[in-house]
Amino acid sequence: MSENKKAEKITGVKGMNDLLPTDSPLWELFENTAQSVLQSYGFQKIVTPIIEDTALFKRAIGAVTDIVEKEMYSFTDAMNGDQLTLRPEGTAGVVRAVIEHNLVYEGPKRLWYKGPMFRHERPQRGRYRQFFQIGAEAVGFAGPDIDAELIMLCRRLWDDLGLEGIRLELNSIGDAAERQRHRADLITYFEANAELLDAEATRRLHQNPLRILDTKNPAMQDLVNKAPKLLDYLEAESIAHFEGVKRILDHNNIPYTVNPRLVRGLDYYNRTVFEWVTDALGAQGTVCAGGRYDPLIASFGGKPTPAVGFAMGIERLVELMKMAGEPALPAQCDVYMVHQGEAAQMQAFVLAERIRDAGLDVVLHCAAASGAGSFKSQMKKADGSGAAFAVIIGDDEIANHVAIVKSMRGAEDDSQQSTVPFDEVVDYVVDQIVGDHDHDHGHDHVHYHH
């Protein structure tokens, strides 16, 4: 590259976001809260690869769906010709892993996952090409009890996050035979009103007419509202299952509305389907969607195993958290080490390690491109870090074997500072921080059982 030619900037891929340090504490708060709620119901974490065989998604999601028709990032592995896809959702991979590792051999399993998903959609608020989901899959459970439990778990998460105005929509889509009878009547109904269908609906009419009910086209709302309702086609067993879910929700005071138009377009979904919806996010108002998929595992050659799950969109939920106000987020550190001169720097390193040993978070000032920085500029950094204390060491302190420990939380002029011998600095700041107020930084050591 010639000296005066500026290097060309490379930007991120459209629709794929960076999570910046300003937002990451909020994400972490969301993820930690979700994880602890999942654990409080006995769910266990599973991690599957981001890439799977394209065939897995085609079969699990179904050929006539938005995802498989037009949203998948599929490619041929240049090394060996394998047909691969960046996962557009989490259920398919989890189900594959459950079968591959015979995970339900000893009985049902409650599983959860989180991670990035990829769909080639038109990017807009709440809709990205890489987005993150946290999901749960309860595998091997047949009854309405687990359906209700999954829903109540979500409810608890919204409560723990302090999110209001997320409402539950519930429906049952019955089984394949019930849907078949409904489908026949639905096609007849739409054919009789063919002039009211838009192009997409016309195309789907004979492939996946159920999906037409999901249309967002305002001109078709009246038509789909008057269409035959799948709920009216359910028979005894499906009705009993649905009533069972509702009974548990009612008993636990979980409000919901039955939305007969709520369908999951996916081929293998059956019985319970639900969505958690908010009005606060504009058009992208669904923050969590779930349902039962009893036939899926057998369709993959596994032993017939009922299952039910949900997935929530993290971006949309974090946006709701932002709208709810500023949650108290942790400071970058407890202690900021300010130092000047080589001897002071050496002492600062030693003290920083000892304060970390005591379980506190320490940022040690390090040189920037502009140099090590004056006391004044280091103190500014200390202030910006949110640290409770600055520990300051210069030539005078080295000569006297002491550090200045300055409280950063008081008002500018009456903020306290003490001169503390090196040997006592650790105890001093630990006492002040842990003794003073609720301390939320200290990390316990991980204990391993051998």
Chain residues that interact with ligand ATP, rule: CB under 6 A: 89, 119, 121, 126-128, 131, 133, 284, 286-289, 311-313, 315-316
Task: Name the minimum Å distance from CB 432 to ligand ATP.
Answer: 44
Question: Are the C-beta atoms of residues 404 and 419 closer than 8 Å to each other?
Answer: yes
The residue among 15 and 386 lying less far from ligand ATP, judged by its C-beta, is 15
**Toward ligand ATP, which CB reaches closer, 89 or 147?**
89
Q: Report the alpha-carbon distance of residue 306 to residue 139 in Å, rounded.
A: 6
Least separation in angstroms between residue 16's CB and ligand ATP is 10
Stretch (H or E) spanning 222: helix 221-225
Structure tokens at 435: 């003794």
Which of 180, 113, 104 lies closest to 142 in space, CA to CA? 104
Q: Which two tokens stand for residue 263?
A: 């369908």
Least Å distance, CB 112 to ligand ATP, is 14
Q: Least distance (Å) from ligand ATP to the CB of residue 404? A: 49
Closest CA to 186 of 215, 170, 208: 208
SS3 98: helix
Instruction: Measure the CA–CA gap between 163 and 27, rounded to whole angstroms.
Output: 15
Nearer to ligand ATP, 126 or 341 (CB): 126
Min CB(284)–ligand ATP separation in Å: 6
User: Which residue in this structure is represented by tokens 């993150």?
Assistant: 132
Question: Could you write out the DSSP letters of every residue in 203-240?
Answer: HHTTT-GGGGGG---GGGHHHHHTSPPGGGG--HHHHH
**Least separation, in Å, of the C-beta of 216 and ligand ATP?**
8
Bridge-based pairing state of the strands 335-339 and 307-313: unpaired
Query: Of 312 and 362, which CB lies nearer to ligand ATP in the complex structure?
Result: 312
3-class state of residue 306 by DSSP: coil
Q: How far apart are CA 299 and CA 403, in angstroms?
A: 69
Q: Which of 17, 280, 263, 288 is nearest to 158 (CA)?
A: 288
Q: Find, among 145, 94, 61, 51, the residue nearest to 302 by Cα.
A: 94
At closest approach, how far in Å is the CB of 54 from ligand ATP? Answer: 17
Nearer to ligand ATP, 103 or 273 (CB): 273
Which phi and psi angles does 165 have, rounded to 5°? Answer: 80, 20
Nearer to ligand ATP by Cβ, of 41 and 73: the residue is: 73
Query: Minimum Å distance from CB 291 to ligand ATP?
Result: 9
Q: Residue 245 or 289: which CB sits closer to ligand ATP? A: 289
Instruction: Decide whether 323 or 368 has the Cβ nearer to ligand ATP.
Output: 323
